[in-house]
């Protein structure tokens, strides 16, 4: 998430990069909390 914020700040320094900065910020929930994942007990060693 910190990399996305740093990228958004760097891209927002130019007018052309403002749209890309917004997309970088919108990607934070997708990368931090991937959809379609379930935590399943594998019954393994631990």
Angle at alpha carbon of residue 18, lines to 16 and 23, rounded to 5°? 120
Per the document, the length of the chain is 46
Tell me what pLDDT residue 10 has.
92
The pTM (predicted TM-score) of the whole model is 0.59
Is there a contact between 11 and 24 (Cβ–Cβ < 8 Å)?
yes
Mind listing the pLDDT tens digit for each residue in 1-46?
788 889 899 999 999 899 999 988 988 887 887 777 677 777 766 6
DSSP code of 30? H
Q: What does the alpha-carbon distance between residue 7 and residue 14 come to, in Å, rounded to a whole number?
A: 12
Give the distance, in angstroms, between the CA of residue 17 and the centroid of all CA atoms in the same chain. Answer: 17
């Amino acid at each position: 998430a910190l990399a996305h914020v740093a990228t958004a700040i760097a891209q927002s320094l130019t007018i052309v990069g403002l749209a890309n900065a917004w997309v970088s910020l919108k990607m934070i929930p997708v990368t931090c909390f991937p959809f379609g994942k379930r935590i399943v007990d594998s019954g393994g060693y631990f």
